[in-house]
Amino acid sequence: MTIDSFSDDTEVIAASSAFCRDARYKDPSIYDQANKDPEAFWAKQARQLQWMRPFTQVLDWQTPQAKWFADGTLNVADNCLDVHLATHAKKTAIIWEGEEGESRRLSYLALTMAVNQLANTLKHTFYLNKGDRVTLYMPMVPELAIAVLACARLGVIHSVVFAGFSAKALKERIVDSGSRVLITADAAKRRGQLLPLKQIVDQALRDDDTTIENVLVLGHIGAKSQCQMQADRDYDYYETVQEQSSQIASEEMASEDILFILYTSGTTGKPKGIMHSSGGYLTHAHFSTKAVFDLKDADIFWCTADIGWITGHSYVIYGPLSMGATVVMYEGSPDYPKKDRFWELISKHQVSILYTAPTAIRAFMKWGDHLPKAHDLSSLRLLGTVGEPINPEAWKWYHQHIGQGRCPIVDTWWQTETGGIMISNLSALNPMKPGIAGLPLPGIEAKVLNEKGESVSEGGGYLSLTQPWPSMLRGIWGDEARFRETYWSKFDSYFAGDAAIVDHDGYLKVLGRVDDVLNVSGHRIGTMEVESALVAHPAVAEAAVVGMPDEIKGQAIVAFVILTANQDVYEGIELDLVRAVAEDIGAIAKPKQIVISPDLPKTRSGKIMRRILKSLVAQQELGDCSTLANPDIVDTLQKQLQLQHA
Ligand code: WT7
């Protein structure tokens, strides 16, 4: 990876004086306070929550094991629901919008009652106890948020699996977590098509060799009648839930008790079950929502991420609901039925804060300025971006055409593992630089380290979080060794897997992954996962997967494939292989290009030189090829790539 230093002409743009005047955080001393005594700072943030038993200990840090607020107890659902009922019972918690423009509103009171009824179902119909696991495989509907909070109410650990994952990927996550109950829906809608979730679930459970005892099925789009309900195993969501009381006592959770597991891709074929705590996680979700998004009571907050990803956990559910905010949840796609769906929705619901991803922004850019221009976007006051580096052009377009020059932009860097935003400017305090995330949040220490682990004061290197923070991952479910190896073996501090540059203002520009993890449209996909999906196909002997720069998606997947000895190339084989990947992992992991080749660039010891494949697809200088055992292959591959591009 080449790391250039910042060009000196990076623009510096300050938020408007009107924004700064009304901002929640406008006193720069917050950084000094947090620096001077980070534990006191985080204790103060944690005290914003309602604790059942207040904590007296702040941090116990035995690298890499953190305990935050360890002797405190709380219930996370209480903090997202009950604490608001005295003053905000009638306030809208969730505005849900479906693909066809249908919408639903749930007040804090209605949401609380729905959560309690489901929690009672989980407890009394399925006999779930604190610490049990539940897998949620659902569309973006209020019932998904309800299910997440019902688990939190009981201290049941939720594992949300994005509804775009295949039956095989779902099963793998169910088995790894040892979930006893699965909550799903008849189907989800995707651009007018149905995604038959219950059928996918049936396929995942077909061999009856998982720990799942019961499946709760939400009739979301009226396709319930087409679902085969297995007697004694499958229950209808509303039939079951409506019999339950809407009162329940919250489980008293220790701060360190696990709130959820969320699977994410790593450098091996097996996904990692990232574990998050209760008290520390919620402290940071709450604080970061307040500080970064400047969230206030009157705001309508729309984070466009699916709840299947960490962004949806922290900024659709836990952060904003712990603030008593109104959130928008949208089930559909940005381009369905028309490409102005987002702008229509913003004006319809008077969205004031929009948090979305660079890949979406680049698509909007391509679709044209006339689309946002045709809608009233005057309700917007702050914009956010997350998921991958944002190129300055896209940043400027977002600023000008969506923010109309009026809204500051927060470029937020974080990861599934960090639980919440780690690097982002606070808009009233730090001016923006397009394409550069900015400063670590108060209370967070992020540094750029060189190969030896020394901090770089200006320039490029590896991004590391050098002090513990409340929402840090508590480990990988069932794999302590992998936790230590992945994040704590390269440096003494947390290694994020990203490269970054720090400039003379201490601003951090995150460049992207330095490991074998791809970022496709802001979704993390391990090259190994795609490779194992490909070699599982009988026609494939060997596969190597790399990322190729993509104008909209950031990266696209290219797979180099060697066929088995008795397999001839036939018309449509590429399509078959793409389909095999979609079936194994899910549509998000589909390669954009399959290159069938007689061989791959290898060292004398037989190791595939991915670096060369990466340079080939990016049409960059190949660099040192002297260790190649088969240098001729480079030419062959180059020709093949050119042929396919032609
Ligand atoms: C990886 C984490 C956390 C939300 C969504 C993705 C990349 C994320 C930024 C940003 C540059 C970013 C990093 C990171 N990333 N935000 N603002 N600028 N890169 O979560 O799937 O855990 O992926 O996304 O490479 O390591 P995730």
Is the model's pLDDT at 442 over the cut of 90?
A: yes
Residue of 265, 413, 471, 511 best suited for mutating to test ligand 1, as the one with most atoms within 8 Å of CB? 413
Of all protein residues, whose CA lies closest to atom 6 belonging to ligand 1? 387
Other Cβ atoms within 10 Å of 572 Cβ, number: 8
Instruction: Quote the distance between the C-alpha of residue 629 and its chain's center.
Output: 40
Three-state DSSP class for 68? strand
Residue 2 confidence class, pLDDT cut points 50, 70, 90: very low
Q: What is the pLDDT of residue 607?
A: 87
Q: Which residues pair with 525 in a beta bridge?
A: 518
- Does the structure show a pLDDT above 80 at 536? yes
Peptide bond into 337 cis (omega under 30): yes
Ligand 1: distance of its center to the CA of 599 in Å?
33
Query: What pLDDT does 7 receive?
Result: 57
- The residue whose CA has the least distance to atom 10 of ligand 1 is 413
Per-residue confidence (pLDDT) for residue 1, from 0 to 100: 38
pLDDT level of residue 3 (50, 70, 90 thresholds): very low
- What is the Cα–Cα distance from 366 to 336, expressed in whole angstroms? 16
Average pLDDT over the chain reads 96
> 221-235, 283-297, 371-385: lowest mean pLDDT where?
221-235
Torsion of CA 174, 179, 185, 191, to 10 degrees: -30
What DSSP line would sit under 309-354, residue for residue?
Answer: SHHHIIIIIIHHHHTT-EEEEE-S-TTSSSTTHHHHHHHHHT--EE
Binding site membership of 349 for ligand 1 (Cβ less than 6 Å): no
Instruction: Output the CA 116–ligand 1 centroid distance in Å.
Output: 34
Tens digit of each residue's pLDDT (9 = 90 or more) over 80-110: 999 999 999 999 999 999 999 999 999 999 9
Note the pLDDT of residue 8: 58
Lowest model confidence (mean pLDDT) among 172-181, 408-417, 447-456, 597-606: 597-606
The pLDDT score that the predictor gives to residue 216 is 98
Contact predicate 455/470, CB 8 Å: no
* Tens-place pLDDT, residues 217-238: 999 998 778 899 999 999 999 9
Q: How confident is the model at residue 6 (pLDDT cuts 50, 70, 90)?
A: low
Q: Which atom of ligand 1 is nearest to the CA of 497?
A: 26
Mutation test of ligand 1: which of 316, 385, 386, 525 has the most ligand atoms closer than 8 Å to its C-beta? 386
Residue 4, pLDDT above cutoff 80: no
Q: Which atom of ligand 1 lies nearest, measured to the CA of 414? A: 3
Q: Average pLDDT in the 190-205 region?
A: 95
pLDDT in tens, 244-270: 999 999 999 999 999 999 999 988 889
Q: Ligand 1: does its nearest atom lie under 6 Å from the Cβ of 471? A: no
Say if ligand 1 is within 6 A of residue 416 CB: yes
* Percentage of the chain lying above the pLDDT 90 cut: 93
Atom of ligand 1 nearest to the CA of 421: 3
Express each pLDDT in 583-632 by its tens digit: 999 999 999 999 999 999 999 888 899 999 999 999 999 888 888 999 99
**Portion of the chain with pLDDT greater than 70, in percent:** 98
Q: What share of the chain is helix, strand, coil (3-state, %, to 5)?
A: 35, 25, 40
Mean pLDDT of 111-139: 98
Closest CA to 577 of 567, 564, 588, 590: 590
Query: What average pLDDT does this structure show over 367-375?
Result: 97
The pick from 524, 529, 553 for probing ligand 1's pocket by mutation, whose C-beta has the most ligand atoms within 8 angstroms, reads: 524
Report in angstroms the alpha-carbon separations of 360 from 182, 388, 420.
31, 11, 21
